Amino acid sequence: MIFKTLRLLENSISQILRKNLFTTSKMAKSKFDYVRNFETEDKLLQNCWIVIRIDGKGFHKFSDEHEFVKPNDLNALNLMNKCARAVIDDFNEIMIAYGQSDEYSFVFRKDSAIYSRRGSKLITNIASLFASSYVFHWSEFFPDKKLKYPPCFDGRAVLYPSEKNIRDYLSWRQADCHINNLYNTVFWTLVQKGGLKPRAAQERLSGTVSGDKNEILYAEFGVNYNNEPAQFKKGTTIIKRKEKIELPDGQSKMKNKVVELDCDIIGDEFWNENPHLLEPFKEM
């Protein structure tokens, strides 16, 4: 008897709730559904290359805390490359990516329709996949170092409408890599080999142009900047391209490959060799 009464009570309560929550019977919409209209549309303009650039938050401190080798910790750079490959493997429409220091730029083809070109969806998915990959793969690159706190990456989307603009964007990032790396190489040489305090090294470099920096390295420390590793000077470019693979039966076939390069991407040579990178969609 008591159970029957309880069941009846429960039925009437849920009927009242349903009446108040759902506005019509035909769709599973609640009366709260209107709040969706407060969301703004953030569709990225058609016919433009989409660049998503992520950058580590406070990596100056992060690299200190985790005792990165200065000015270039190779393991840290390779971990960044590993994370970039995770993003490229997940997003088929990225044709080229460029990374240096704590940043990576991912270029989506101009006719990409991914997530209906919704900016926030793209930025957040890429930044979060990158950050989780950084943690996931950390121990492969730093087997003897414990991660002290979770790293974080910001992200932004920028649109480039012309081939010149997108090439200039990538040139800008590579030029930035060169400028910073030259500065950092001299700065840390003055500190590590020259015994200068960071403040003194900074003062020594203030107002110098690149020729002066090369000269300090060469004349005072016997270091030829040109012989520094290309990965440090040029950053890392990851592209997709078709490569010929030999089959066991002696035949060969073309297969898509993701390759990591440390070459110049400012001049024409790279683009003449890889014209497909900026061409419209073709099934790869």
Q: Where do we find the tokens 């300090």? A: 216
- The single residue among 77, 157, 216, 238 that binds ligand ATP, judged by CB under 6 A, is 77
Backbone φ and ψ of 240, nearest 5°: -105, 135
Q: Where do we find the tokens 């470019």? A: 237
**59 touching Mg ion, by CB under 5 A:** yes
Q: How far is the CB of 71 from ligand ATP (least distance, A)?
A: 6
Q: Where do we find the tokens 């170092």? A: 145
Pick 56 or 155: Cβ nearer Mg ion:
56
Q: Which of residues 16-45 bind Mg ion (CB under 5 A)?
A: none
Cβ-contact 256, 284 below 8 angstroms: yes
Q: What residue 215 binds from Mg ion, ligand ATP, none (CB within 5 to 8 A, per partner kind)?
A: none
**54 touching Mg ion, by CB under 5 A:** no
Beta sheet of 236-246, edge-to-edge order: 153-160, 49-56, 103-108, 94-100, 236-246, 252-261
Q: What residue 235 binds from Mg ion, ligand ATP, none (CB within 5 to 8 A, per partner kind)?
A: none
SS3 assignment, position 97: strand
Cβ-contact 204, 190 below 8 angstroms: yes
SS3 assignment, position 276: helix
- The single residue among 49, 59, 106, 270 that binds ligand ATP, judged by CB under 6 A, is 59
Here the tokens at position 70 are 């200065």
Pick 64 or 163: Cβ nearer ligand ATP:
64
CA 78-80-85 angle, 5° bins: 95
- The single residue among 23, 73, 159, 262 that binds ligand ATP, judged by CB under 6 A, is 73
Q: What residue 70 binds from ligand ATP, Mg ion, none (CB within 5 to 8 A, per partner kind)?
A: ligand ATP
Report the C-alpha gap between 199 and 185 in whole angstroms. 15
Here the tokens at position 208 are 């110098």
- Specify the stretch interacting with ligand ATP by CB under 6 A; choose among 5-13, 37-45, 64-72, 257-265: 64-72
Query: For 51, how many CA atoms within 13 A lie in the half-sphere containing its CB?
Result: 23
Q: Which of residues 100-129 bind Mg ion (CB under 5 A)?
A: 101-103
Q: How far is the CB of 62 from ligand ATP (least distance, A)?
A: 7
**63 touching ligand ATP, by CB under 6 A:** yes
Q: How far is the CB of 188 from ligand ATP (least distance, A)?
A: 9
Residues at the site binding ligand ATP, with contacts judged by CB under 6 A:
55-60, 63, 68, 70, 72-73, 76-77, 101-102
Residues at the site binding Mg ion, with contacts judged by CB under 5 A:
55-56, 59, 101-103
